């Protein structure tokens, strides 16, 4: 099964909506394997958003992402990277599809409530950036045998 990272951004914490987003992922039957609340540092953000670090808007990202704690989570499931990205919606919340997290909870490009790993390679790098291997739990859900047909299980 794939694993992916999400970051519930400061606006989810300050608006008290993190539980609504977590609930959406649980409703999709994706398995949460680790969660922690942290305050990100500028160095962590430079590493995480290295592709944006030289952009003129990057200081705004740092200001926003350090304005309050974030919730870092690792989720596991079949095609979980793509599934969570579909549930999250496109980066520009005003262009997200109705019913996605960003459509329902945001009107911004930057303050868009959730980060979801772009692809499996990015997911693996991001998980390693924020979590040690000992922090990721492996466990069986009580209903796990009902989640996927036998030919879909690795």
Each residue's pLDDT tens digit, 30-68: 999 999 999 999 999 999 999 988 999 999 999 999 999
From CA 27, how far away is CA 63, in angstroms rounded?
Answer: 32
Full domain range(s) for residue 6: 2-135
119 CB-near residues (< 8 Å, 6+ apart):
81
In a domain, residue 153? The reply is no
| Percent over 90 (pLDDT), the chain | 81
**Paired residues of 77 in beta bridges:** 2
Q: What is the CATH number of the domain that holds 13?
A: 3.30.70.141
- The answer to whether residue 78 sits within a structural domain is yes
Is residue 115 part of the annotated active site? The answer reads yes
How many structural domains is the chain composed of?
A: 1
Of the candidates 81, 115, 126, 127, the residue annotated as catalytic is 115
Q: What percent of the chain has pLDDT over 70?
A: 99
Over the stretch 104-136, which tens digit does the pLDDT of each residue have?
999 999 899 999 999 999 999 999 999 998 888
The dihedrals phi and psi of 36, each to the nearest 5 degrees, come to -155, 150
pTM for the predicted model, two decimal places: 0.92
Residue 94 within a domain: yes
Q: Which residues, other chains included, contact 90 with Cβ-Cβ below 8 Å and sequence gap of 6+?
A: 96, 97, 100, 102
Phi, psi of 31 (to 5 degrees): -95, 125
């Amino acid at each position: 099964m794939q694993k992916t990272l999400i970051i519930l951004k400061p606006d989810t914490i300050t608006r008290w909506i993190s539980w609504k987003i977590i609930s959406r992922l649980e409703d999709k039957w994706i398995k949460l394997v680790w969660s922690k609340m942290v305050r990100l540092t500028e160095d962590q953000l430079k590493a995480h958003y290295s592709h944006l670090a030289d952009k003129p808007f990057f200081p705004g990202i740092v200001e926003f992402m350090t304005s309050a704690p974030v919730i870092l989570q690792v989720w596991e499931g079949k095609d979980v990277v793509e599934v969570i990205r579909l549930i999250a919606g496109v980066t520009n919340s005003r262009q997200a599809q109705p019913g996605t997290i960003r459509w329902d909870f945001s009107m911004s490009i930057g303050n868009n409530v959730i980060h979801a790993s772009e692809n499996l390679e990015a997911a693996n790098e991001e998980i390693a950036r924020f979590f040690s291997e000992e922090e990721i739990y492996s466990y069986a859900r009580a209903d796990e045998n009902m989640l996927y047909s036998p030919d879909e299980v690795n």
